[in-house]
Amino acid sequence: MRREERKKLNYRKLRRNVKAISPVISVLLMIAVAVAAALVTYAWVMGYLGFTTTKVGKAIQIQSIAQNGMVYVQNVGDATLNMADAYLDGVKVSDGVTVVFSPVTIAPGETSSINVGGPFAGGQTVVVKVTTEDGTFAELTKTFP
């Protein structure tokens, strides 16, 4: 029995000698982890906002689609845009090789027009998509009366 008591005593001494991280070091580690997480979150949010605000500067909107096939596109952004392509029901509209916008370059607030075909019949639904050279696009679905 004496031997067992010695083992227990040795085990207790061993357990007393095992040291953990001090409270000061653990607090410093938690602060470092929190700061690192905050920096990563900040970098992600700033990158997302930077991407979003650069896209806001370039925007177009299809104002109307006439029954005769004329589509009117307005530059509602802050930058001058060069019109590129137009699509009618998912098919690229072409006049020979290139789409003919009038005018091709539109300043902020100005409107451009293009004829995508027509006339459209009553009750017909069309989907028109217009793109610019930098990838900005607008899409509108219209059903004619």
Of 133, 79, 55, the C-alpha closest to 101 is 133
pLDDT tens digit string along 90-108?
888 865 444 577 778 888 8
In this structure, the answer to whether residues 107 and 69 fall within a common structural domain is yes
In this structure, the answer to whether residues 117 and 66 fall within a common structural domain is yes
Q: How far apart are CA 35 and CA 44, in angstroms?
A: 14
pTM: 0.58
What pLDDT shows up at residue 85? 87
In this structure, the answer to whether residues 62 and 43 fall within a common structural domain is no
- For residue 119, is the peptide bond before it cis, meaning its omega torsion is within 30 degrees of 0? yes
Q: Domain with 124 in it: what CATH number?
A: 2.60.40.1260
In degrees, to the nearest 5, what angle opens at C-alpha 124 toward C-alphas 123 and 126?
Answer: 140
In this structure, the answer to whether residues 6 and 42 fall within a common structural domain is yes
pLDDT at 25 over 60: yes
Give the domain extent around 20. Answer: 2-55
pLDDT at 1 over 80: no
Structure tokens at 140: 């509108």
In this structure, the answer to whether residues 34 and 98 fall within a common structural domain is no
Residue that is last in its domain, among 11, 39, 55: 55
Q: How far apart are CA 133 and CA 66, in angstroms?
A: 24
